[in-house]
Amino acid sequence: MRRRIVSLWFCRLATDRILRHRGPAPDDRPLAAVTESGSRILLSGVTLAAERAGLSPGMTLADARAVAAHLMTVPADPRADAVLLSRLARWAGRYTPIVARDGADGLFLDITGCAHLFGGEAAMLTDMATRLEGLGLAASAALADTPGAAWALARHGRPGAIAPPGGTARALERLPVAALRLDRETAAGLAHLGLRRIGDLYGLPRGSLAARFGVGTVRQLDRALGHAEEPLAASRPSTPPCARMSFAEPIAARTDIDAALAWLLGEICTRLEGLGCGARRLELACHRVDGTAQMLDIGTARPLRDPSALARLFRDRLDRIDPGFGIEAMILAATASETLSPAQGRIGSRCDTQEGAAALTDRLGNRLGFGRIRRAAAVDSHLPDRAWRPVSPVEGVEVLSPPATPLRPARLFARPEPVAAEAGRNEGPPAAFRWRGRRHAVCAAEGPERIAPEWWRDDPAWRDGARDYWRIEDAAGRRFWLCRVGDPPQWHLHGLFG
């Protein structure tokens, strides 16, 4: 299949962004965005009214004032322009999953195999132009076999130009050589020799052209004609599995959104199963009739491709979707996935503990944020306060088996708390102890278990040497983990059972 590329050029991105928020300039006065360049102030963007008055980007503000004394200016904001272009790249995902940024004011869309979904290439470009005009953006779109040819037609040809498959050379031959994305000096040098059109370069020997004007000139010509490959740096490195649903009439009811999402989840899980993968992150885009997109994403603690389980994760967050005047298309993409091998379940059995913990993590993570959840991972240490460490439940970490140690308390204090103990028999467990103002009589005890510090690590908490631990039960059935440490020996409470 022949590659087909759309170039979208936002002719007045900076000023269009300003007018979208502030409204049109009073009395249709020319407006320009300005930026400092050394000691000069230059125009970085102009409105259509400013263009008609003879202004263009790159002019100094002094020259612009001489041409149009009533010019209005606003400071340029490249960061805000970049944010708008990123949003437009996401908006363009309605047409193709492969969208790449083209400088600071353009996009490349690889629509190979996508045009028939919109009634053909001409209908797709018309739809783009109509929607962008409705958003208050001035854009020029063109379509060709290569990014270079599409770029040349969008900026130097007529808006909406379409080079037929295999007809790139003929479509470019009458365009100026600057349309090859050459620098001004190279374009001026070619024009000085009478090589003003791209077609004038077709019959020239490549070696002579490269020797006179550089290898880059030949490379740009070959890229535009398709003789050299030009990869696109898409915002997503690879095409994720996705499913799309378009509606004949816009939907807004929650029941309709739920039904559409259920169908999309079924489709995406089927595709993931074919790939032998499970989703780790899903992104839902709801494209509204006003041209904006409502975005929603969920994450999972483990690879998952169960539609009902994924639907439960979305259910808690769908209230954030504002359908506005209606949603006309929904796109679901698995932006992150991992290998998931088929598993054989046992008849009449419920999911195991690991699956249940993962399901709980999914729900808590999507409700509270995965950054706020931690799980305990075993550490290769015999010390009770170093045997576990908190880790993220969704990150892949090496799982160590817990060390083979006796029973440990469910609640372990950061540091052992001193207690007042009443001496028992033969240096055994205490007969009673007082902790936090309350006396506990010892009814049963098990121990001792001696734990020595790690000699290769200088740990201030273990500078008093080895500890003798006892599991203690008082008259009320409460169980404690006490240790005897130091010389003379002192008793401390390190944890609670149950």
Q: How far is it, in rounded angstroms, from Cα 5 to Cα 111?
A: 6
User: Backbone phi, then psi, for 379, in 5-degree steps?
Assistant: -120, 145
Neighbours of 380 (CB within 10 A): 10
Residues of the chain with CATH 3.40.1170.60: 5-156
pLDDT at 38: 80
CATH number of 168-225: 1.10.150
pLDDT tens for the chain, 498 residues: list them: 789 999 999 999 988 888 877 766 665 788 999 998 888 899 988 988 888 899 988 899 999 999 988 899 989 999 999 999 998 998 898 898 889 999 999 999 999 999 998 999 999 999 999 999 988 899 999 999 999 999 999 999 998 999 999 999 999 999 999 999 999 899 999 999 999 999 999 989 988 899 999 999 999 999 999 999 998 887 654 568 889 999 989 999 999 999 999 999 999 999 998 888 889 899 999 999 888 888 898 888 788 888 988 998 898 788 889 998 999 999 999 988 888 866 555 545 444 545 566 667 767 776 777 777 777 777 777 888 777 777 777 665 455 555 556 678 878 888 899 999 988 777 788 999 999 989 999 999 998 889 988 888 877 878 888 899 999 999 889 999 999 988 888 999 999 997
Q: Quick one: tokens of 302?
A: 């483990």
User: Backbone phi, then psi, for 49, in 5-degree steps?
Assistant: -65, -35
User: Backbone phi, then psi, for 203, in 5-degree steps?
Assistant: -90, 0
pLDDT at 397: 47
* CA distances to 106, 168, 275, 365 from 12, in Å: 11, 27, 43, 42
Q: How far is it, in rounded angstroms, from Cα 411 to Cα 409?
A: 5
Q: How far is it, in rounded angstroms, from Cα 321 to Cα 363?
A: 18
Q: How far is it, in rounded angstroms, from Cα 434 to Cα 131?
A: 76
* CA distances to 58, 292, 474, 484 from 438, in Å: 81, 64, 12, 19
Q: Quick one: tokens of 456?
A: 């290769």
Identity of residue 48 = L
Neighbours of 493 (CB within 10 A): 21
Question: What angle (nearest 5°) sits at the alpha carbon of residue 338, between those of residues 337 and 341?
Answer: 130
Q: How far is it, in rounded angstroms, from Cα 174 to Cα 194?
A: 14
Residues found in the chain = 498
Q: Please check whether residue 286 is in contact with residue 293, taking contact to mean a CB–CB distance below 8 angstroms.
A: yes
Q: Quick one: tokens of 239?
A: 């095409």
Q: How far is it, in rounded angstroms, from Cα 62 to Cα 75?
A: 15
Nearest of 326, 315, 330 to residue 283 by alpha carbon: 330
Residues of the chain with CATH 3.30.1490.100: 242-343
Longest dimension (CA), the chain: 110
Per-residue b/e over 313-351, b at no fewer than 16 CB within 10 Å?
bbeeeeeebebeeebbbbbbbbebbeebeeeeeeeeeee
Q: Quick one: tokens of 269?
A: 């899980």
pLDDT at 403: 55
Pick the CATH number of 242-343 from 3.10.450.750, 3.90.1170.50, 1.10.490.10, 3.30.1490.100: 3.30.1490.100
Nearest of 10, 25, 132, 135 to residue 74 by alpha carbon: 25
Q: Please check whether residue 62 is in contact with residue 31, taking contact to mean a CB–CB distance below 8 angstroms.
A: no
CATH number of 5-156: 3.40.1170.60
Helix (H, G, I), strand (E, B) or coil at 350: coil
Residues of the chain with CATH 1.10.150: 168-225
Neighbours of 140 (CB within 10 A): 21
